[in-house]
């Protein structure tokens, strides 16, 4: 996970470690199995889930295709009710904007509700370095924060941990009683967090949707922590990627159940809040100031790509992770990215550079389970293929691979050469027998864990000739 | 009996070299059904290895050769969902905006994976095969998700005398092959097959059957290394059992 190693070798090393941990993998698989069962049942309650997917994709598509108009409308409406909107083109600008607000208020402590975009800009690191106390109020986020870890899954941040491990963690860090009862553990965290809400000067949240028509952010959650985070402290800052826009309030009628269904298998999450500004004159509570920080951070680079801009439709439900056989076997931390799983593998090369992150496009069997499940119908696995194409086109595959592919083309366009290669292959197979199965066997990467049939004595082509 | 059709065979390169028996079984079944089978001898590969690795122009050159070889074919039978998907689904992507786009999409409409050819094109669900035992079917991802093949192989297997079909857990989860993925990330690829072995073993099946030789190379290779007693067979081999 260290930043200094290159992302490709870090991925390979972590994948080696996690795939060897059979116990952890089966724990992950059984957690996700439970998710899949409830999600299927909830999907079945839609009159027609497939049309709901199409409609949800269309609503997001409309927003993405008219982002300039809808973002301006969203910001105008928010500002009309007294909120301040900050337009930030990258992480640096967003971090500065947020830090400025916090400093202006002489704040000491910050409470946060779950927000992956703050992970994307590494906000916690900065705030802690600047001497502020930062507390994550979502239970899963709170747990990974205590462990000084990144979220494992962008919807279920602590899904990799067993309750026994959380018990040990809480005893160590919170001087908690010895219990692995989930309800008791939750109460321990709640006790700590309630105090933090009351003392926090600033509340930072994300936004699941930004409604252009009304200028409201919409927050989806199950614990009520986002409500407290956005209403108790006197200043509320919401950080939102520009792609979170939806055109109309009525779109939420579809998007909220789609997000809940695809994300957690619920019909609706326990809490859904729409916030459209700070406390108004005739209101008795709510924050005195509300800031909405809009973040580009290379999303417009993706927007400029006509083939892959549909990836901006993503509502971060995490469904593609939950069905992905790669995610299930390497876990979330292996990716080394803010957004794990198929969607992360698609967008990270656009957000952070293809050269360093192209391995994520290759570390997929392109099985398509992600595209099949995506509630807004993003063409995820084909985008991985397109990223592979772009990397190869830029020569990033290396000279050896390029030469191999050239050789492949030469052979496969010439039937006589193909036949000759087949015969040479058989000869080569016999000649290399002494090294078969050893590390210098050219097929070692395969044969280390799998048997491989010997070339057939008679190819199909030879069989066909012989039967004439 | 349906009218006899002229069916051209496309035997993918790795089937040609490593498991020709799959191609031979397909020939036997088609001929037993009374069809006239031919084998365009210039054929090599569909180009998928290059395409899958991101080398689209290189893949297109191999695709050009495929188009030349099969230009006159009325109907093409392929014992692999993956190679069929390459031709029907991905060739159009390679040839978009090219003068051959129309030819490519028309050819795609004449190329069929073996089980969809039998069930959907030839209207056959019982080929008169016999095999005693219990089997579980593994859906190859390309056949399943790119081509929508799901019922055809099951209908055919249900009619095999003596064979009972048991669905395994996560039958539609990838086996871990994925082309170059299996070599570039062998640890993940193998972990996925390990899960598959667990699911297949639970069914107590004698056979694991699939329509994709590449999945069988992966699954069979791992199962045999793990000394599993489950025999991995291509569906053509099963349908060829008398």
DSSP labels, A365-387: ----HHHHH-TT---HHHHHHHH
In the stretch 87-126 of chain B, residues with CB closer than 8 A to chain A read: none
Do the strands B231-234 and B207-210 form a parallel or antiparallel pair, or are they unpaired? Answer: parallel
B113 and B152 share a domain?
Answer: no
Within an 8 Å CB–CB cutoff, is residue A446 touching chain B? yes
Decide if A460 and B20 are in contact by the 8 Å CB cutoff: yes
Closest-CA distance, A324 to chain B, in angstroms, reads: 9
The domain spans of chain A are 46-297, 401-467
B191 and B168 share a domain?
Answer: yes
Is B1 contained in some domain? Answer: no
The stretches of chain B forming alpha helices (DSSP H) are 13-17, 20-32, 48-52, 56-70, 81-85, 91-94, 101-108, 114-116, 141, 151-158, 181-184, 186-202, 213-225, 235-239
Q: What is residue A1's predicted lDDT score, i.e. its pLDDT? A: 45
B116 and B152 share a domain?
Answer: no
Closest-CA distance, A388 to chain B, in angstroms, reads: 4
SS3 (DSSP) at A115:
coil
CATH number for the region A46-297 comes to 3.40.50.10420
> Which residues from B are below 8 Å from A445, CB to CB?
183, 186
B172 and B144 share a domain?
Answer: yes
Decide if B17 and A29 are in contact by the 8 Å CB cutoff: no
Residue B140 to residues A65, B144, B177, Cα–Cα distance (Å): 35, 6, 10
Within an 8 Å CB–CB cutoff, is residue B82 touching chain A? no
In the stretch 291-350 of chain A, residues with CB closer than 8 A to chain B read: 325-326, 328-330
Is B42 contained in some domain? Answer: yes
Q: What is residue B2's predicted lDDT score, i.e. its pLDDT? A: 56
- Best of A342, A354, A365, A400 to disrupt the B interface (most B CBs within 10 Å) is A365
Q: What is residue B3's predicted lDDT score, i.e. its pLDDT? A: 79
In the stretch 110-149 of chain A, residues with CB closer than 8 A to chain B read: none
B151 and B112 share a domain?
Answer: no
B84 and B145 share a domain?
Answer: no
Helix, strand, coil in percent for chain A, rounding step 5: 55, 10, 35
Is B72 contained in some domain? Answer: yes
Would you give per-residue pLDDT tens digits along chain A (468 residues)?
445 579 999 999 999 999 999 999 999 999 999 999 999 999 999 999 999 999 999 999 999 999 999 999 999 999 999 999 999 999 999 999 999 999 999 999 999 999 999 999 999 999 999 999 999 999 999 999 999 999 999 999 999 999 999 999 999 999 999 999 999 999 999 999 999 999 999 999 999 999 999 999 999 999 999 999 999 999 999 999 999 999 999 999 999 999 999 999 999 999 999 999 999 999 999 999 999 999 999 999 999 999 999 999 999 999 999 999 999 999 999 999 999 999 999 999 999 999 999 999 999 999 999 999 999 999 999 999 999 999 999 999 999 999 999 999 999 999 999 999 999 998 888 888 888 888 888 899 999 999 999 999 999 999 999 987
Closest-CA residue of chain B to A448: B186
In the stretch 14-53 of chain B, residues with CB closer than 8 A to chain A read: 15-21, 23-24, 39, 41-45, 47, 49-53
Boundaries of domain holding B131: 126-239
pTM for the model stands at 0.95
> Which residues from A are below 8 Å from B56, CB to CB?
389, 392-393
Give the residues of chain B that fall short of pLDDT 70: 1-2
Q: Which of A12, A390, A453 sits opposite B18 (nearest CB)?
A: A453
B135 and B111 share a domain?
Answer: no
Decide if A413 and B64 are in contact by the 8 Å CB cutoff: yes
In the stretch 343-372 of chain A, residues with CB closer than 8 A to chain B read: 361-369, 371-372
> Which CATH number covers residue B47?
3.40.50
- Best of A449, A459, A465, A466 to disrupt the B interface (most B CBs within 10 Å) is A449
Name the token pair of A94: 């967003």
Do the strands B111-113 and A109-112 form a parallel or antiparallel pair, or are they unpaired? Answer: unpaired
What span, in angstroms and rounded, lies between the C-alpha atoms of B65 and B71?
A: 10
Q: How many domains does chain B have?
A: 2
Please identify, among B75, B91, B120, the residue that sits at the C-terminal boundary of a domain.
B120
B133 and B222 share a domain?
Answer: yes
Q: Which of B65, B174, B217 sits opposite A365 (nearest CB)?
A: B174
What span, in angstroms and rounded, lies between the C-alpha atoms of B140 and B153?
A: 11
Please identify, among B71, B104, B120, the residue that sits at the C-terminal boundary of a domain.
B120
SS3 (DSSP) at B165:
strand
B10 and B96 share a domain?
Answer: yes
Is B103 contained in some domain? Answer: yes
Nearest residue to A360 via CA among A121, A28, A16, A12: A12
Q: What is residue A440's predicted lDDT score, i.e. its pLDDT? A: 87
Is B143 contained in some domain? Answer: yes
Is B18 contained in some domain? Answer: yes
B130 and B232 share a domain?
Answer: yes
Please identify, among B82, B103, B120, the residue that sits at the C-terminal boundary of a domain.
B120
B186 and B161 share a domain?
Answer: yes
Nearest residue to A247 via CA among A18, A434, A72, A461: A72
Closest-CA distance, B125 to chain A, in angstroms, reads: 26
Closest-CA distance, A461 to chain B, in angstroms, reads: 7
């Amino acid at each position: 996970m260290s930043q200094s190693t290159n992302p490709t070798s870090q991925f390979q090393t972590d994948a080696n470690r996690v795939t060897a941990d059979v116990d952890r993998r089966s724990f992950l698989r059984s957690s996700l199995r439970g998710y899949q069962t409830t999600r299927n049942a909830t999907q079945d309650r839609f009159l027609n889930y497939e049309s709901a997917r199409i409609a949800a994709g269309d609503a997001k598509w409309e927003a993405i295709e008219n982002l300039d108009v809808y973002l301006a409308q969203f910001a105008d409406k928010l500002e009309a009710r007294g909120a301040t909107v900050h337009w930030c083109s990258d992480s640096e600008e967003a971090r500065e904007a947020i830090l400025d607000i916090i400093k202006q208020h002489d704040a000491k402590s910050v409470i946060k509700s779950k927000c992956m975009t703050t992970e994307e800009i590494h906000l916690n690191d900065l705030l802690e370095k600047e001497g502020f106390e930062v507390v994550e109020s979502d239970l899963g986020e709170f747990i990974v924060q205590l462990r000084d870890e990144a979220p494992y899954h962008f919807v279920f941040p602590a899904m990799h941990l067993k309750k026994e491990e959380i018990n040990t963690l809480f005893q160590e860090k919170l001087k908690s009683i010895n219990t692995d009862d989930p309800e008791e553990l939750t109460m321990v965290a709640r006790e700590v967090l309630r105090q933090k809400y009351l003392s926090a000067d600033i509340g930072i949240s994300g936004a699941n949707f930004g409604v252009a028509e009304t200028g409201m952010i919409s927050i989806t959650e199950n614990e009520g922590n986002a409500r407290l985070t956005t209403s108790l402290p006197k200043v509320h800052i919401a950080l939102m990627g520009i792609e979170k826009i939806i055109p109309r309030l009525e779109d939420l009628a579809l998007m909220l159940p789609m997000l809940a269904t695809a994300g957690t298998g619920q019909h609706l999450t326990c809490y859904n809040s729409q916030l459209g500004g700070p406390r108004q004159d005739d209101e008795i509570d709510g924050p005195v100031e509300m800031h909405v920080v809009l973040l580009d951070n290379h999303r417009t680079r993706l927007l400029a790509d006509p083939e892959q801009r549909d990836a901006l439709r993503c509502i971060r439900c995490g469904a593609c992770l939950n069905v992905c056989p790669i995610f299930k076997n390497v876990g979330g931390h292996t990716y080394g990215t803010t957004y794990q799983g198929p969607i992360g593998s698609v967008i990270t090369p656009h957000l952070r550079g293809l050269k360093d992150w192209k391995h994520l496009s290759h570390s997929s069997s392109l099985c398509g389970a992600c595209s099949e499940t995506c509630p807004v119908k993003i063409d995820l696995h084909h985008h991985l293929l397109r990223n592979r194409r772009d990397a190869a086109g830029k020569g990033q595959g290396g000279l050896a691979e390029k030469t191999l592919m050239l050789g492949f083309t030469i052979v496969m366009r010439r039937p006589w050469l193909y036949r000759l290669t087949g015969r040479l292959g058989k000869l080569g197979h016999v000649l290399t027998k002494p090294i078969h199965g050893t590390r210098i066997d050219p097929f070692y990467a395969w044969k280390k864990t799998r048997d491989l049939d010997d070339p057939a004595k008679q190819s199909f082509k030879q069989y066909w000739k012989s039967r004439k | 009996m349906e009218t006899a059709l002229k069916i051209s065979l496309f035997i993918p390169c790795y089937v040609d070299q490593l498991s020709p028996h799959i191609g031979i079984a397909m020939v036997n079944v088609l001929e037993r059904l009374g069809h006239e089978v031919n084998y365009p001898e210039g054929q090599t590969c569909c180009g998928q290895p290059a395409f899958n690795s991101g080398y689209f122009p290189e893949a297109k050159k191999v695709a050009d050769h495929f188009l030349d070889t099969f230009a006159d074919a009325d109907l093409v039978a392929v014992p692999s969902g993956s190679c069929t998907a390459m031709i029907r689904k991905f060739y159009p992507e390679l040839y978009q905006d090219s003068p051959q786009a129309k030819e490519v999409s028309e050819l795609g409409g004449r190329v069929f994976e073996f089980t969809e050819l039998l069930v959907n094109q030839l209207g056959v669900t019982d080929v008169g095969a016999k095999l005693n035992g219990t089997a579980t079917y593994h859906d190859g991802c390309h056949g399943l998700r790119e081509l929508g093949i799901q019922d055809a192989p099951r209908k055919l297997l249900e009619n095999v005398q003596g064979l009972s079909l048991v669905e395994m857990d996560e039958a539609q989860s990838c086996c871990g092959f994925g082309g170059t993925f299996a070599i570039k990330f062998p640890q993940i690829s193998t972990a996925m097959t390990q899960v598959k072995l667990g699911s297949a073993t639970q069914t107590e099946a004698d056979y694991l059957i699939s329509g994709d030789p590449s999945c069988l190379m992966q699954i069979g290779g791992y199962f045999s290394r793990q000394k599993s007693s489950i025999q991995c067979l291509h569906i053509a081999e099963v349908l060829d059992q008398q």
